[in-house]
Amino acid sequence: MYQRVGATAFKKDLTNIIALCEHLEQPQDQFPSIHIAGTNGKGSTAHILAAMLQAGDRRVGIYTSPHYKDFRERIKINGQLVSKQFIVDFVEQYRSVFEDIKPSFFEITVAMAFQYFAQQKVDIAIIETGLGGRLDSTNIITPLLSIITNIGYDHQQFLGETLPEIAAEKAGIIKPYTPVLIGEEHPETMPVFEKKAELEKAALYEAETLVTVAEKEVEGKYTIYSAMAREFDFEELYVNLHGNYQKNNLRTALAAIDILNYQRLEPSVEAWDIVNGLSDLKEMTYFIGRWQTLSTHPTILCDSAHNKEGIKIVMEQVQKLNYKHLHIVFGMVKDKDPKQILSLLPSSALYYFAKANIPRGLDAHILQQEAASCGLNGKSYISVINALEAAKRAARKEDLIYVGGSIFVVAEVL
């Protein structure tokens, strides 16, 4: 399982998922879908988009990875986790097929999601790639729309060392005659997408040219935006999400709605679907782990940003918050360059280093030593929970405790 052990579990091949879905009688062809790839923002974009589609009385499936607390988070319909019984029955029914094909954990899970969405007759499913795109197990669907949120440096050992190389892997989800939406432009990657779209005769859209979004203010559980596109103009859009980085994900999701409506999605997504979906987003879609406040006095905030681009944006926002002292509970996985990420963290904070409870986690003592060489001071702890408890003992009510560095660290505090 890649999430737990890393590279040894990664399979760069579509043979197994094709064979599995043949046994299941091609469930991925039995429902309309939207396919999402990208370095950051895939999960957020998927949930924002799902909320707006759900508000129009659709049954909307979401497949994402990894999960935080419960494996079933990966497969949801209208915010409801797949049933335990379906998982048990699926594994029992196809055990001999698994023993014959020898698929990975991820390949089994993807096939399971496709089977569940087909069986439950979803109106549409939003499918997030696991890693990359071209050879990702999800890349056997023929979607209504392909979305590539952005390109950054992550998983270079699999996807390539340069942004154009990484973009070429993500561009693998672009299908013949299927529109593709690029969430964030970059001069090094756009030519890659343009070339692939031209080759596949796929209409290429850029979110930044389709939709204008501006953050206005934060009010309680909402961030209020203004937003404008071809068919809508909102002066105040109440979005049940916080985090500066969500502005880009919101713009991408709104651009996707614009394209789907333009492509004559039936029924179309109306203005009130957008308003109602965004205002109840978390409840409607079971959205957790992103810029989430766990408690107050002191404020405990967690976020699953885990690569250079994500951490940079989150730390910029942390610095803008009101607090007296900053405490950071931090852990990483061992297949990322720690110095590259640690160099983005503020030296003024007090650190509590911990290893997430998975084999892939980076030893807390090693992380502490790497951090010290970057001018970050703190102690290492035997677990994430111990690190958080130490931070809570040290913090005063006007302080801020931030928990992050890895989705697996966040999972232990939710």
Q: Say what the alpha-carbon torsion angle 223, 227, 232, 233 is, to the nearest 10 degrees.
A: 100
Say yes or no: 279 and 199 in one domain: yes
With helix as H, strand as E and coil as C, how does 116-169 read? HHHHCCCCEEEEECCCCCCCCCCCCCCCCEEEECCCCCCCHHHHCCCHHHHHHH
> CA-CA distances (angstroms) from residue 322 to 31, 181, 310, 398?
47, 36, 21, 9
- Return the pLDDT at 106: 93
Say yes or no: 272 and 257 in one domain: yes
Mean pLDDT of 197-214: 98
- Strand-pairing partners, residue 80, are 77
> CA-CA distances (angstroms) from residue 119 to 31, 62, 76, 122, 286?
10, 14, 13, 8, 21
- Return the pLDDT at 204: 98
- Return the pLDDT at 157: 61
- Return the pLDDT at 10: 52
Backbone angles phi, psi at 239, to 5 degrees: -115, 125
Say yes or no: 150 and 228 in one domain: yes
User: Residue 369: is its pLDDT beyond 60?
Assistant: yes
pLDDT band for 142, please (50, 70, 90 cuts). Answer: very high
Q: Which residue has the tokens 């297949």?
A: 335
The pTM score is 0.93
Say yes or no: 205 and 300 in one domain: no
Structural domain span for residue 312: 292-411
User: Residue 160: is its pLDDT beyond 80?
Assistant: no
Q: What is the mean pLDDT of the chain?
A: 94
pLDDT tens across 101-124, in order? 999 999 999 999 999 999 999 999
- Return the pLDDT at 2: 42
Say yes or no: 242 and 346 in one domain: no
Number of domains in the chain: 2
310 contacts 245 by C-beta, under 8 angstroms:
yes
Say yes or no: 211 and 319 in one domain: no
107 contacts 138 by C-beta, under 8 angstroms:
no
- Who has greater pLDDT, 344 or 264? 344
pLDDT band for 8, please (50, 70, 90 cuts). Answer: very low
| Domain end (from 255, 285, 315) | 285
User: 71: which DSSP letter?
Assistant: G
pLDDT band for 356, please (50, 70, 90 cuts). Answer: very high
| Domain end (from 267, 285, 303) | 285
- Return the pLDDT at 131: 84
Say yes or no: 260 and 396 in one domain: no
| Domain end (from 285, 312, 338) | 285
The span from the CA of 139 to the CA of 318, in Å, is 36
User: Residue 296: is its pLDDT beyond 70?
Assistant: yes
Say yes or no: 226 and 363 in one domain: no
User: 268: which DSSP letter?
Assistant: P
For 28, the token pair is: 């991925």
Mean pLDDT of 299-314: 94
pLDDT band for 274, please (50, 70, 90 cuts). Answer: very high
CATH at residue 51 = 3.40.1190.10
Backbone angles phi, psi at 359, to 5 degrees: -60, -30
User: Residue 1: is its pLDDT beyond 70?
Assistant: no
Say yes or no: 7 and 52 in one domain: yes
For 214, the token pair is: 């501006």
Rg (CA), the chain: 21
For 160, the token pair is: 């390539």
Say yes or no: 260 and 383 in one domain: no
Q: What angle do CA 57, 63, 65 make, to 5 degrees?
A: 145
- Write out the DSSP string of 286-336: T--SSSEEEETTTEEEE----SHHHHHHHHHHHHHS--SSEEEEE--BTTS
Mean pLDDT of 344-369: 96
pLDDT band for 239, please (50, 70, 90 cuts). Answer: very high
User: Residue 39: is its pLDDT beyond 50?
Assistant: yes
Say yes or no: 130 and 37 in one domain: yes
pLDDT tens across 172-195, in order? 999 999 999 999 999 999 999 999
Half-sphere exposure of 290 (CA within 13 A, CB side): 23
Say yes or no: 332 and 275 in one domain: no
CATH at residue 391 = 3.90.190.20
The span from the CA of 314 to the CA of 331, in Å, is 15
> Would you call 404 helix, strand, or coil by DSSP?
strand
Nearest to 341 by CA among 329, 349, 330, 356: 330
Which of 128-132, 214-218, 333-337: highest mean pLDDT?
A: 214-218
User: Residue 9: is its pLDDT beyond 90?
Assistant: no
